[in-house]
Amino acid sequence: MLALFLVLEFLLHTTQGEPQTGSCKDILQGYLTGQLSSALGAYQVEALRREFKSFTDVIEESMKRFKEQVNASIQEEGVRNKNIVYIRWGKKMCPSHAKEIYSGFVGGSHYSHTGAAVDPLCLPKDPEWEVHNDGNDGAMAYVYGAEYETNTFTNHFPLLHEHDVPCAVCFVQNRSVVKAFPARKTCYKGWNLEYQSYLMAGYYNHSAATTYTCVDKNPDTLHGGHANKNGYLFYFVEAQCGSLKCPPYVQGRELLCAVCSKK
Ligand SMILES: [Ca+2]
Ligand SMILES: [Ca+2]
């Protein structure tokens, strides 16, 4: 309504002072004040109305587009200042589009300890220290290295068995969020793939609780780490039907994981 009023005002002003002001100005003024000349045909009023309507429609449409553009550039600006960091488990390097903060080796609690910390760590190769006392000092938590436990799976995966597990901490600019999607190898619409992986966790019957972790689907191994020393252990995760819906899940099938990010 405001737009219509402004258009009419504009037309009135632009027609003022012109010699043949008679008809157009009178019609507009009549339209605005409601005192339309009786001599004026109804069809002229209708024609004017239609013209104003199409004109204001054009203005409203371009205002809408302008608003959308402003919103999009505000959003773009917001994302430009955002970054994500994630750990690529099982790989020494980050994906090519990411910057590597550091590459390290996976550590965690011992699979046999009931009081274990559940989550694995990506330990750097250049640790720093403060006050310390070498040797075991009693009441402490522990961190061990990590191994793949993959001898009962198929294909090339038994070759990884007992090898130590690397990791890389990766940094990606202009992304607002990163998330692991279990049971997926591709990302949902609007998300970008960071890395494809298998879902892994501790053995179901070990004492220590673990956490589901997305370990790269083409894992690297740490040089010189092929010895069964145990510690934090990674096993593939199989679907178990029941309360888990099958289909879509399949009894005994190993689950994947897609790590995806979004602008
Ligand atoms: Ca082992
Ligand atoms: Ca299986």
Q: Is pLDDT of 217 > 50?
A: yes
Ligand lying closest to the C-alpha of residue 254: 2
What integer best gives the mean pLDDT of the chain?
86
How far apart are the C-alpha atoms of 179 and 10, rounded to whole Å?
Answer: 54
- Whether 45 has a pLDDT exceeding 60, the answer reads yes
Interval between CA 219 and ligand 1 midpoint (Å): 16
pLDDT band for 79, please (50, 70, 90 cuts). Answer: low
User: pTM surpassing 0.75?
Assistant: no
Looking at residue 233, what is its pLDDT? 96
Q: Where are the domains of the chain?
A: 2-79, 83-126+140-262
pLDDT of the residue at 263? 93
113-128: pLDDT as tens digits: 999 999 999 999 999 9
Ligand 1 center–CA 229 separation, angstroms: 6
pLDDT of residue 67 exceeding 70: yes
Instruction: Tell me, in angstroms, the distance from the centre of ligand 2 to residue 3's CA.
Output: 67
Residue 251 CA to ligand 2 centre (angstroms): 8
- Ligand 2 centre from 138 Cα, in Å? 41
Ligand with the closest atom to the CA of 203: 1
Residue 101 pLDDT: 98
Cross-strand pairs, 148: 234
**Tens digit of each residue's pLDDT (9 = 90 or more) over 141-189:** 999 999 999 989 988 888 888 888 999 999 999 999 999 999 999 999 9
CA of residue 158 to ligand 1 center, whole Å: 12
pLDDT of residue 82: 92
